[in-house]
Amino acid sequence: MPCHDYLYRGLTPQGVARRWFLEKCGIGLGAIALHSLTASAASTDPLAPKAPHYTPKAKHVIFLFMAGAPSHLELFDNKPKLAEYDGTLPPADLLKGYRAAFINPNSKLLGPKFKFAKYGQSGAELSELLPYTAKVVDDLTIVKSMVTDAFNHAPGQLLMNTGSQQFGRPSMGAWVTYGLGSESKDLPAFVVFSSGKKGPSGGNSCWGSGFLPTVYQGVQFRGSGDPVLYLSNPPGVDEELQRDSLNSIRKLNEMRLAATGDPEISTRINSFEMAFRMQTSAPELMDLSKEPEHILKMYGAEPGKPSFANNCLLARRLVERGVRFVQLYHEAWDQHGNLVKDLKQNCKDTDQACAALVQDLKQRGLLKETLVIWGGEFGRTPMVQGGSDGRDHHPNAFTMWFAGGGMKPGITLGETDELGFNVVSNKVHVHDLHATILHLLGFDHKKLTYRFQGRDFRLTDVAGNVIQEMLA
Amino acid sequence: MGRMRRLGWLVLAAAAGSGLPGQNASPPERVDFVRDVKPVLEQSCYSCHGPKLQMGGLRLDAKESAAKAIHPGKPDESSLYQRIAGMGDQPRMPMGGKPLDAAQTALIKRWIEQGAEWPDHASAKVEVVQEHWAFRPPQRPPIPKTRNKTWAKNPIDQFILARLEQEGLSPSPPADKVTLLRRLSLDLTGLPPTIEEVDAFLRDRSKNSMEKQIDRLLASPHYGERWGRHWLDAARYADSDGFEKDKQRWVWFYRDWVVNALNKDLPYDRFVIEQVAGDLLPNPTQDQLVATGFLRNSMINEEGGIDPEQFRMEAMFDRMDAIGKSILGLTIQCAQCHNHKYDPLTQEEYYRLFAFLNDSHEANIAVYTPAEHQKRAEIFRAIADIEAGLKHRMPDWAERMAKWEDQVRNDQPDWTIVNATAEDISTGGQKYLPMEDGSLLAQGYAPTKHRVQLIVKTDPRKITAVRLELLNDPNLPLGGPGRSIKGTGALTEFEVATAPADAPEKTTKHKIIRATADISLPEAPLEPMFHDKSEEQKKGLRVTGPIEYAIDGKDTTAWGIDAGPVLRNQPRKAVFVLEKPIELTKDTLLYVYLSQKHGGWNSDDNQNNNLGRIRLSVTDAPDPVADPLPANVRQIITSIPREKRTPEQMQAVFSYWRTTVPQWAEANEKIAALWKQHPEGSSQLVLQRREKPRQTHVLMRGDFLKPGKAVEPGVPAFLHPLPPGEPLNRLTFAKWLVARNSPTTARAIVNRVWQAYFGTGLVETSEDLGRQSEKPSHPELLDWLAVEFMDSGWSLKKLHRLIVTSATYQQTSRVTPELYQRDPYNRLLARGPRFRVEAEIVRDIALAASGLLNPKIGGPSVYPPAPEFLFQPPASYGPKIWNEEHGPDRYRRAIYTFRYRSVPYPMLQTFDAPNGDMSCVRRVRSNTPLQALTTLNEPLFFEAAKALGAIALKNGGMRDEDRITYAFRRCLARKPNAEELAELTAFLNKQRPRGEEAAWTALARVLLNLDETISKE
């Protein structure tokens, strides 16, 4: 993914030189001085914390990406009329210009497979498949009026993540860390987990840095083994040897820095130091055995057994440690068939942990500054695919929910028509969602830009409006 | 038509005009430029004819410039009015924008009628708008004079020095010989020098010792690997399709072509022509076909729900982008959706360029290595010898063959081709695209198991049999007729049914009693790539064989067509005779079911065994059999009189006829045995021109569902013109790209070569020399290099030599704080370059220094160690092949590492290698903790540390100091200084208790992790 442009682009030459002077002088004072000086040379570290355009509501984001596209009609968007029309053909004018991925759009309508009820003070409607979500429903902002442009997985996931169906654009997490930097000194700023049946269709590009410097790309963590690639020392290298080796590498690099004057060497020295810190901090982070029993139970997490639930708990731990953007992919929601069975399973795998995450962040006072996002790349057709137990891809309407980070809790926004086919009020396009998320993080989405190939690019491309109704 | 239209406008204008203020007053109110006209122009015209852009040299905010479009008093003769009103044949303005409404049009007309009064104060001051520098062809500038007369070694230096003198700076002294040799080796071959090479260079006291080294390195076959990698970035090379499935593809012939072309120093203009249009050169060689893989490096989406045309268009946009960035040095993709905002490129011009490329099949051909070519030649010679012998021994063969022809010419019944459509759900996600000849072409997602229901609506008729033809198509692997990676397919079962048109689900099955085909192979087990993990598979029941297997009611057996290399890619046919004829009425639907269940277990990988292009026909003849004659032979003998046949056609008829001659059985068997020895070869994605190019349309907002105006191929007005008199095809376009008068082509490539040497191009934005580009640091030098490059026959090696022999290049990279502050990015080049090498070279240095490197050049991509989980869900979308190499291929140069787009090789990704999603002509150079973890802990780096430790112990001498020095030099070429040696010795001694081997491994690991080891100094 990475291409173009330089790490320190946008920095004034004077800034670069100043950093170098600090470091150059630091060498004379010995290694300790060097470290503290380089560590505080904040203006030159591409991941140093930065202030956004306005005072932000949210400082962290956890995006629970339900890849494969969950059925809004079975989970959030109750359509009694659709049940009545089950087995009939949709109205012809509805299908004008409509393209479906697999089915002939003129397929029979399929009634919802699960019951709905109202929950909480807010009286939000949810499917019987989401008993845990029902308990935190008053903390959620449910948006039933999401729309997107893509109806195939890879392009749809790219659009949701990068604002474009084409490859090569930076992901939201990359934009956010580019804009805000990181508050964590020894963990990556943007961390990605993957669970479920498959990896996301968009592959690494879903968390890529596009044309932004590669420091902003998401770092994949794994629920078991080394959380980060090559985190463990090679066989036969113990901690003492690692420390000795790093000391020696540092001393030799410092000699070279003195001989050549190239400040890039001091950046490399820092990189090695942070790598060493990460070797301690990442395993500590991943060690869920220290979590109290009731917390593990709340999430349904089991130490040592990778799961979506574990990843949710890890997401909280990452946010606690200052990580800016955490994304959890759970690719399991592509129910062209087996709608009933698979949805039951998927909800069993995710409902409890999603709700626990919201609840846990709240009880720790982190929900205020942490935006939790739940959703996939599009919705599913009110029309049946196959016999009577599947739905095709549907871009015209789908549901997402949000919690914390300045979102207005306890509301349900937007409506679809009686079939759940089109949005009829409060349409929220993916670009609008991006604008709104950036707004909560303190950015004017039109001003968070990056010059590439002679043009200022942004996450929202040339569109996007902040949806005021979603804001607290 | 013009008159009608004009009249129409007048009427409209009058009608609309009544709504204008004061319109009822007579005479009409005077139109005021500032109040009435300017706002309209501002809203609709200035974005292209205003201060930023002057399309066609016209500025409508400046009186003088606008004068040529305005004939006061005569709107009909004013091009301003003509164009906004859509008069004549010219496209209506604003081009690609919303037309002016009737009232606005009438207003401008009236303003012109009234004399087009335009107060001076309302006119922009026209400064002579300087044409953007990069849009003028480069001219050789005079070489500047400098005060310092001794430093410069060649003209490059004079340009650099002149600027330094202007800035009050002086160049740095030359780097020492060792540093310089390491710099040269890394730059020219991507590998560090060996100790022997360093010593030889140090010993060589001759005046031209440096030149000798440069010659040696330029002649090294590793030169092509190092510089080829840069081009492969621009060509967005990868070994997989991208998108969700991201299946493996075989395109390494293209990668090797690039490496070889550079090693041969194929002139750059030729290099480009072959890649863009090698297939259109006269009698193209395999190499020239392979070269067109450049454009085919686009991603392919075979997700289940896709419209193949949508993603063909995406691929076309990607090709345009690649040509723009890599060849023209311009970003043109903005114009996909609208006129370019900054460069004078209209959307229409974009699609005219696009039209040049919109002429080809997405083809996949068989390709052979030189050894395989030789084998093929031997086989063909042997076959030709046998056939000549047959003819020799049967002098009247021609008469006999003619007699045979007369016998078989009319022995086939009439078949009626019927159009079929595939029932949506039954396709399993595969798209059956209707073709003009009545066939269906399978594209998109390829399920490994499906049973497609084909629906035929035909005139009332009696049917005794159905024929299935399997046809070739350039868009299928190796031309088909199947969709497997070898172009084969298997038919598990063939069934026929009918249903009433008003109750399509009420099917009646019709029994098939006999099946014949033009190929009948013995039973054979499925190849491993089609294994499906089923019980039947384990028991060995899944087989292919004769045509009867398609009507035996079993899902385990199928009709197979894999007759070995080349022969497996012939068209085939089968005929299925019904037990009882079917009487089709106009109210009957005919269903044909093609069960294709002989693919493997993973539909997300290359495991399908589907039919690729199929055609159905019916007959009412009694008991027909499949025509044993190949389709081309049948066509020749029925439609081409003997005396008009070409030698190839005669040969085709003979080659079939001889197989029917009983006394030639032995010779026929010999020939069949020869075919069995034919090499398998590999495949390569290429361009293949369609007989009829597609019609290109301007796509509204770049949406393939919104085609606008049809356009013909053409080039943008702001660039150089097409050569007059040449046909408007892709070859002409390719030649145009590298024409001597192209303003950007030579500049773009010399700038990128410069960028590779010095870290930044003379124009920093090397992908974009357009108006938004950064100003060149040394504009005259850029032009001088571009012209010199073209004048030297577009020789890249000469360009390299010119740069590396310059004093500029040979300066030391040491920098003082003063100079650093003055020029942190080294744009003025008062010092030599120093920066971290590219990802591939980071790996190659470790392999070379440790002695592990396998220097083999070319061949299929390889799988060095990588964490296995990356290639399995949920890390990867589907399971991916990664058979870690344990032989010598484990240590190949990184250019040969297999590249999956969706799962980039972690070590290369961490060091900023692009993954091939799009053309990249400028990499990022980051410096991160993940890089540190990689060089410290990644298995292959650790293997390198062990190997380097071991080789130092073995070959480094007897004393620690010697061994440390030896290991140090293998990494850094230079010798350690006393301080470094002391540090390393202390480290070694501290680790000694771990054992000798472990201590030396630890020491080597330190060396391999030094900044200097992975930097060019």
The answer to whether residue B145 neighbours chain A at the CB level (below 8 Å) is no
* Beta bridge mates, A195: A330
CA distance A416 to A146: 9
pLDDT of residue A186: 87
Please state whether beta strands A124-127 and A116-119 pair in parallel, antiparallel, or not at all (unpaired).
antiparallel
Burial B126-161 (b: 16+ CB within 10 A, else e): eeeeeebbbbebbeeeebbebeeeebbebbbbbbbb
Q: Which residue of B has its CA nearest to A98?
A: B705
pLDDT for residue B772: 85
Q: Does residue B90 sit at the A interface (CB-CB below 8 Å)? A: no
Q: d(Cα B446, Cα A272) in Å, to the nearest integer?
A: 46
Per the structure, the complete domain to which residue A312 belongs is given by 51-237+286-470
Q: How far apart are CA B702 and CA B354, in angstroms?
A: 12
Q: Report the distance separating Cα A382 and Cα A80, nearest Å.
A: 12
B248-296 pLDDT, tens digit per residue, is: 999 999 999 999 999 999 999 999 999 999 999 999 999 999 999 999 9
Mean pLDDT of B147-151: 96
What is the predicted pLDDT for the residue at B1? Answer: 36
Residues of B in contact with A245 (CB under 8 A): 936, 987, 1002, 1005-1006, 1009
pLDDT band at B562, cuts 50/70/90?
A: very high
d(CA B715, CA B650): 44
Interface check A151 vs B, CB under 8 A: yes
Q: Which residues of A touch B1011 (CB under 8 A)?
A: 253, 256, 264-265, 268-269
Residues 379-438 in A contacting B (C-alpha not used; CB under 8 Å): 385-386, 392-393
CB A314 within 8 A of CB A296: no
A243 touches chain B (CB under 8 A): no
Residue A201 contacts B where some CB pair is shorter than 8 Å? yes
Q: What is the mean pLDDT of residues B745-761?
A: 98
* Parallel, antiparallel or unpaired: strands B524-525 and B543-545: antiparallel
What count of other Cβ atoms lies within 10 Å of the Cβ of residue B523?
11
Which residue, among B827, B917, B968, would best test binding to A if mutated, counting the most A CBs under 10 Å from its CB?
B917
Q: What are phi and psi of B298, to 5 degrees?
A: -65, 160
Is A234 within 8 Å of B942 when comparing Cβ atoms?
yes
Average pLDDT over residues B76-86: 85
Neighbours of B208 (CB within 10 A): 10
Please tell me if residue B813 touches chain A, with a CB cutoff of 8 Å: yes
> What is residue B21's predicted lDDT score, i.e. its pLDDT?
38
Is residue B330 less than 8 Å (CB to CB) from chain A?
A: no
Distance from CA of A363 to the nearest CA of B (A): 31
Instruction: Determine the residue of chain B that is closest to A233 in CA distance.
Output: B937
Q: Would you state the structure tokens that stand for residue B413, as one six-digit string? A: 């019944």
Tokens of B320: 């345009």
Report the complex ipTM.
Answer: 0.86
- Residue of B765, B874, B909 lying closest to A197 (CB–CB): B874
- Count Cβ–Cβ pairs < 8 Å, chain A vs chain B: 283
A259 in a domain, yes or no?
A: no
Does residue A281 lie within any of the structural domains? Answer: no
The model's confidence at residue B127, banded by pLDDT at 50, 70 and 90, is low
Which pLDDT value is given to residue A87? 94
In a domain, A35, yes or no: no
pLDDT band at B930, cuts 50/70/90?
A: very high
Res. A387 pLDDT band, cuts 50 70 90:
confident
Residue B840 contacts residue B229 (beta carbons within 8 Å): yes
Q: How far is CA B590 from CA A289, B425, B491, B507, in A?
A: 65, 17, 19, 9
Q: What are phi and psi of B583, to 5 degrees?
A: -100, 105
- Report the percentage of chain B scoring pLDDT > 70: 96
Q: Which of A423, A470, A465, A375 is nearest to A145 (CA)?
A: A423
A38 inside domain: no
* Low-confidence winner among B87-101, B193-207, B872-886, B906-920 (lowest mean pLDDT): B87-101
Alpha carbon of residue B82 to chain centroid: 43
Cβ of A264 and B998 within 8 Å?
Answer: no
Q: How far is B1006 from chain A (nearest CA, A)?
A: 6
Q: Give the gyration radius of chain B's Cα atoms.
A: 35
Cβ(B41)–Cβ(B331) under 8 Å? Answer: no
The whole-angstrom separation of Cα B355 and Cα B694 is 8
A121 domain-assigned: yes
Look at residue B51 in the predicted model and tell me its pLDDT: 73
- Residue A14, chain B, CB below 8 Å: the answer is yes
Confidence of residue B916 (pLDDT cuts 50, 70, 90): very high
Q: Which amino acid appears at position A222 of this protein?
A: R
Is B719 within 8 Å of B745 (Cβ atoms)? no
Looking at residue A32, its pLDDT comes to 31
- In terms of Cα–Cα distance, which of A31, A19, A425 is closest to A248? A31
Read off the pLDDT of each residue in B135-153 and give the average, rounded to a whole number: 96
Q: Which residue among A99, A198, A245 places its CB closest to the CB of B877?
A: A198
Q: Does A271 contact B at CB distance below 8 Å?
A: yes
Asked if B899 and B239 touch (Cβ cutoff 8 Å), the reply is yes
Q: Which of A154, A188, A228 sits opposite B301 (nearest CB)?
A: A154
Distances (CA, A) of A308 to A68, A208, A415, B354: 15, 22, 30, 46
Tell me the C-alpha distance between B903 and B873, whole Å.
11
**Dihedral angle over CA of B718, B724, B728, B732, nearest 10:** -80
Of A24, A215, A259, the CB nearest to B928: A215
Q: What is the mean pLDDT of chain B?
A: 93
Beta-carbon contacts of B127 under 8 Å, excluding residues fewer than 6 positions away, are none
Ranges of each domain in chain B: 2-129, 267-369+681-743, 377-409+638-679, 420-620, 939-1016
The residues in B 672-731 lying below 8 A from A, measured between CB atoms, are none
Cβ neighbours, 10 Å, residue B701:
11
Q: Which residue of B has its CA nearest to A203?
A: B902
DSSP helix/strand/coil, B499: strand
Share of chain B above pLDDT 90, in %: 81
Q: Structural domain tally of chain A?
A: 1
Instruction: Say how far apart CA B239 and CA B233 lie, in whole Å.
Output: 13
The mean pLDDT of A205-215, rounded to a whole number, is: 88
Q: What is the pLDDT of residues A223-249, one digit of tens each?
A: 778 899 999 999 999 999 999 999 999
pLDDT at A259 > cutoff 60: yes
Asked whether residue B737 carries a pLDDT value surpassing 90, the answer given is yes
The verdict on a CB contact (< 8 Å) between B301 and A152 is yes
Dihedral class, residue B313 (left if φ above 0, else alpha if ψ from -120 to 50, else beta)? alpha
- CA distance to partner chain A, nearest, from residue B917 (Å): 6
CB neighbourhood size of B643 (10 A): 5
Region at B85 (left for phi over 0; alpha for psi -120 to 50; beta for the rest): alpha
Nearest Cβ partner of B1002 from A100, A194, A241? A241
Confirm or reject contact between B932 and chain A (CB < 8 A): yes
Residue A68 maps to a domain: yes
Q: Where are the beta strands (DSSP E) in A129-275?
A: 140-147, 190-196, 219-220
C-alpha distance from residue B915 to each of A177, A210, B330, B905 (Å): 22, 11, 21, 9
Instruction: Determine the distance in angstroms separating the CA of B603 from the nearest CA of chain A, rounded to an integer.
Output: 14
Chain B residues touching residue A390 (CB < 8 angstroms): none
Residue from the list B903, B933, B1017 with its beta carbon closest to the beta carbon of A204: B903
Distance, CA of B87 to CA of B4 (rounded, Å): 10
Is B8 in the A-facing interface, judged by CB distances under 8 Å?
no
The Cα of A53 is separated from the nearest Cα of chain B by a number of Å equal to 26
Report the CATH number that the domain containing residue A376 is assigned in CATH.
Answer: 3.40.720.10
For B427-435, what is the mean pLDDT?
Answer: 94
Residues 825-864 of B with CB under 8 A from A: 825, 834-836
Q: Which residue in the set B874, B912, B927 is minimally distant from A2, CB to CB?
A: B912
In angstroms, the separation between the Cα of residue A15 and the nearest Cα of chain B is 9
**Model confidence at B125: pLDDT above 90:** no
A457 to chain B: closest CA residue: B334
What values do phi and psi take at B522, rounded to 5? -65, 160
Q: Is A234 in the B-facing interface, judged by CB distances under 8 Å? A: yes
Question: In the prediction, which pLDDT does A451 show?
Answer: 85
Flag whether residue A163 sits within 8 Å of chain B, measured between CB atoms. no
Q: Which residue in the set A167, A231, A264 is minimally distant from B927, CB to CB?
A: A264
Write the CA distances from B979 to A26, A106, A146, B93, B304, integer angstroms: 19, 80, 65, 74, 63
pLDDT tier at A22, thresholds 50, 70, 90: very low
The pLDDT of residue B28 is 60
Determine contact: B984 vs chain A, CB below 8 A. Answer: yes
A33 pLDDT exceeds 90? no
Burial of B808 per CB tally in 10 Å (0-12, 13-18, 19+): buried
pLDDT at B54 over 90: no
Residue A249 included in any domain: no
Q: Which helix (H) or strand (E) holds B417?
A: strand B416-418
Q: Which residues face B918 on adjacent strands? A: none
Backbone angles phi, psi at B418, to 5 degrees: -115, 145
pLDDT in tens, B842-870: 999 999 999 999 999 999 999 999 999 99
Q: Which residues of B touch A392 (CB under 8 A)?
A: 305
Tell me whether strands B508-510 and B588-596 are parallel, antiparallel or unpaired. unpaired
Q: Do B1006 and A232 touch (CB under 8 A)?
A: no
